[in-house]
Structure 1
Amino acid sequence: MWTSHPQFRSIVLSNWNRDLRIKGSGLDQVYWKLVRLKHDLKKFNWRIIGDVARSYEDCKTEFQKARYDIFSDPQNQILASAERVAFQRFKQQEKVYGSYLRQKSKIEWIQFGNENSSYFHAYIKQRKRANRIASYISEDGKVEDSYPKVISHFINHFKSVLGCSNKASGKVDYVIADLGPVLSVEDQLALIKPFSNKDVKTTMFGISSIKSPGPDGFRGGILQKLMERHGEGDF
C-alpha cells in the first residue's frame, strides 16, 4: 500500500542513507536501519497516508456525485473533466484500500494465531464427526449400527484387500522410463552448484510483494524496493 505513494521511495532512501550512531557491520547495520526505518514509516502512515478506509469512502462519494452531475448535463466539458479526475482518484484509492485490507487480514491472522489454530482444529473435529461412518448395510439389506459390528466389518473388508497382488501394476520398465523427459548432465550440475548473489536477488524478487509480513513487520515489497537501488554485491 505504501509503495504506490510518490513520497515512499524518497522517505526510505533518505532514512537508509543516513549514518548510524550504533557501531556494527553487516547484518547488524541492516537490522538497526530497519528498526529506524520502521519508526519513519509509522510517521509516514499517520501523517501522509491517514485513514485509508475514510479516504476510500470520500473518493467513492465524490465519484458518484461527479457521475450524477455529468448525467444531468452530458455536454458540459467541465463536468466531464471533473468526472474523469474523480474516477482516477477513486480507482487509485480503491487499489490502496484493497491492498490495505489484504495486509490487515494477514496481520490479524498472525496476531490471533492461537485462536485461528483453535478454530481450525474445532472445525476439523466437526468434519470428522460429520464424516464418521456409524453404520453399514449388510448383504441381506439390513442396516447395522452396532459399533462392534461396524468395526469388525471394516477390518474384515481391508484384510481381504490388503496384501493381495494387483495384476494392473507390475515392475517398472527402466528402458521405457529413460525414453521420457530426463535432466541433462548440465541441469544436474546446475542443481548442486553454489548459489550466487544474483540467485538470491532473483529469488527475493520472486516473492510476492503482498506476502504476509515477518516477525519484524516488513513485507517482501519493502525489501524489494530497497534492493532495487543496490547492485548484486551490495547486500
Structure 2
Amino acid sequence: LNNHPDFAEIIKGCWSGLNFEGSRQLVISKKLKELKNIIRTFSNENFSNLELRVAEAFDNLISCQQVSLNSPSPAAAAAEEVAHRKWSTLAKAEDSFLCQRSRIQWTSEGDANTAFYHRAIKSRRDQNQIDLLIDEDGSVIHSLDAIKDHVVSYFKNLLGGVVTPTTSSP
C-alpha cells in the first residue's frame, strides 16, 4: 500500500478532513478507526486478486510493446509507458505480499531451533530495536531510560488535553 502513488495523499486528505471532539487520545482513536475503513476500501480496489491482476497487466504490457514495435508512434510509446507503470506497481505489491506471507509462515512454523533460525530471530530483534532518538531540538538521546522517558513524555503531550475540532469555511 505504501508504494502506491496515491496512498499518502489519500491518507493525508482523510486525516485532515476528519473532525471529532474529545480528548486527544479519543480523537486519534476515532480517526484511526475511520481510517481503517478507508484503507480497507483502497486496498480492495487496488490490490485484490493481485496474482490475476499482475498477469493481466503483464499481458497488456506485452500487447502494448508489440504495438510499439510494429507501428511506432508517440501514442503507442505513451500507452506502453502507462502499461509498464501499472504492471510494475502491481508486481511490486505482489512481491511484497508474498514476502510478508512467507515471513509469517516461516516464523510461525519455525526452523527446528537451528542456529540459522536463532541468528535470523536475533537479526530481526536487532533491526527492530531503537538505539537512539533525536528529539524536537535535535538532541540525540542514547540511554534506554532517557529514550523511554522521552517517548512517554511525547505521547502524554500528544494525547493529553481535550481538543475541539475546527471547522474551516470554503
Q: Which has the larger radius of gyration?
A: 1
- Provide the TM-score with structure 1 as the length reference: 0.40
Pick 1 or 2: higher relative contact order, CA cutoff 8 A, min separation 6.
Answer: 2
Give the Cα–Cα distance (whole angstroms) in 1 for the partners of residues 33 and 103 of structure 2. 21
Is structure 2 residue 75 aligned with structure 1 residue 76?
no
- Provide the TM-score with structure 2 as the length reference: 0.52
Considering fraction of residues, name the structure with more helix.
2
Identity of aligned residues (%): 18
Is structure 2 residue 57 aligned with structure 1 residue 105?
no
For residues 142-193 of structure 1, what are the alpha-carbon distances to aligned partners after superposition, in whole Å with 9 as ceiling and x for unaligned? xxxxxxxxxxxxxxxxxxxxxxxxxxxxxxxxxxxxxxxxxxxxxxxx6448
2:4·2:89 contact (CA, 8 Å) conserved in 1?
no
Q: How much does 1:60 deviate?
A: 0.4
Give the Cα–Cα distance (whole angstroms) in 1 for the partners of residues 28 and 46 of structure 2. 26
Give the Cα–Cα distance (whole angstroms) in 1 for the partners of residues 90 and 103 of structure 2. 20
Q: How does 1:43-192 map to 2 (within 5 A)?
A: 43-71=41-69, 73=70, 76-77=72-73, 78-107=75-104, 113=108, 116-117=109-110, 120-121=111-112, 191-192=142-143
Which letter maps to 1:33?
K
Give the Cα–Cα distance (whole angstroms) in 2 for the partners of residues 19 and 88 of structure 1. 36
How many pairs align?
126
Which letter maps to 1:95?
K
Q: How much does 1:95 deviate?
A: 2.0
Cα pair distance change 1:49/1:79, threshold 3 Å: same
1:52·1:100 contact (CA, 8 Å) conserved in 2?
no
Q: Which runs of 5+ in 1 are unaligned?
A: 125-189, 201-232
Q: How does 1:28-43 map to 2 (within 5 A)?
A: 28-43=26-41
Aligned to 1:9: 8
Give the Cα–Cα distance (whole angstroms) in 2 for the partners of residues 88 and 46 of structure 1. 19
